[in-house]
Amino acid sequence: DSDWVLHKKILNFCQVVNHKGETIGKLIESCLLEWVIDKVFSITIDNASSNDGAISYIMKRLRSWKTLILEGELLHMRCCAHVINLIVNEGLKEMHDSIACVRNAVRYVRSSPKRLIKFKTCVEQETIDCKALVCLYVPTRWNSTYLMLEHALKFEKAFQILEEKELDYQDYFAEDEHGKKKIGPPSNYDWKNVEVFVMFLKVFYNVTNKISGFLYVTANSFFHEMWGINDLLIGWSNEHNSILRNMAINMKSKYDKYWGSIEKINKLVFLAVVLDPRYKLDYVGFCFGSIHDDATVKVLVDGIQAYLMRLYNCYKSQIDGFAFRNDL
């Protein structure tokens, strides 16, 4: 607003009768018409194929309204949080038994009030100073796996006491689950692996929280986070720890699918950094230089600079046209 305070507004909340791209596009169009909005610079949306159809429909409408910027080249911004979600889930496909051990241990504790009381007794016995207790995970949300492991790690000694003193806890892991014995209880080896997983997932958890913020500007932070993740995955792909290495290799493959080349990334990611007075074009070139030779870096940087000039000239022509009409 006039005081430079960022606002988040929900213009409409409606039911979508089907997931066809044209249906979604028409709903967006009706919302824009209702609010008399005819200028849309970009739309952030996830990677479902139906959303590609919705973007194509909106692009046609904006073109007919003569408000489409650069023929819609910047219109479709892939949701960075969604891409990170896909990358992490790719790594978790190689989910280690150690995670299953801890998950089953947490399930035991949270399965009844009586068991939770027993666990709290073990926590008190070990004088663990932590107000939050262990939490269950949600299968469809990887960040809940991170939170579950992070919390459980703080209570490692309490789980060990529980295993030593409670026969019911030991019997729980002997029970059949879909015709198989439950994995667990977690050993010292499992807890060491969990430490690695927590360190690994914490990076992506923090990045997701940062780029999902709505009380501050995030457009200029996407490039930094993308580049940071790329460097981490390259480093972890050469780790001695085979679990971490395999997860990183799988995730790097998924990363490259969406962000592996400049052509796959909406140019706004780079332009936002160039327009940030703390970094500008030289910083983007510096980052490119970490993985490309000088000749390639020059081509990439020149391309971004040319794109910025195209965007500038696009707005300049609109302003010049507006001034000309006023003179008439």
Alpha helix locations (H) across 35-141?
A: 49-64, 80-92, 97-110, 113-125
In this structure, are 153 and 302 located in the same domain? no
pLDDT in tens, 58-115: 999 999 999 999 999 999 998 898 899 999 988 887 767 888 899 999 999 999 999 9
- 298, exposed or middle or buried, with CB in 10 Å at 0-12, 13-18, 19+? middle
In this structure, are 89 and 124 located in the same domain? yes
Going by pLDDT thresholds of 50, 70 and 90, the confidence category of residue 322 is low
CA-to-CA separations, 263 to 43, 57, 267, in angstroms, rounded: 18, 22, 8
Per-residue pLDDT at 268: 92
Closest residue by Cα to residue 172 from 158, 161, 164, 183: 183
Residue 235 forms part of a structural domain: no
In this structure, are 58 and 155 located in the same domain? no
Domain boundary among 206, 224, 255: 255
Structural domains counted in the chain: 3
In this structure, are 93 and 145 located in the same domain? yes
Per-residue pLDDT at 6: 82
In this structure, are 189 and 281 located in the same domain? no
In this structure, are 249 and 299 located in the same domain? no
In this structure, are 74 and 127 located in the same domain? no
pLDDT at 179 over 80: no
Per-residue pLDDT at 275: 92
In this structure, are 64 and 165 located in the same domain? no
In this structure, are 71 and 120 located in the same domain? no
Domain boundary among 78, 105, 135: 78
In this structure, are 144 and 209 located in the same domain? yes
pLDDT at 131 over 70: yes
Per-residue pLDDT at 212: 83
Domain boundary among 52, 78, 104: 78
Per-residue pLDDT at 138: 78
CB 198 within 8 A of CB 146: yes
In whole angstroms, what is the distance from residue 62 CA to residue 51 CA? 16
**Mean pLDDT score across all residues of the chain:** 88
In this structure, are 171 and 248 located in the same domain? yes
3-state SS assignment for residue 176: strand
Per-residue pLDDT at 173: 87
Mean pLDDT, rounded, for 279-291: 91
pLDDT in tens, 200-246: 899 999 999 888 877 777 888 899 999 999 999 999 999 888 888 88
In this structure, are 88 and 65 located in the same domain? no
Per-residue pLDDT at 1: 79
Q: Which domain holds residue 318?
A: 261-325
Per-residue pLDDT at 19: 87
Q: Residue 196 contacts by C-beta under 8 Å, 6 or more apart in sequence?
A: 241, 243, 244
pLDDT at 122 over 70: yes
Mean pLDDT, rounded, for 28-36: 92
Read off the DSSP letter of residue 276: S
Residue 231 forms part of a structural domain: no
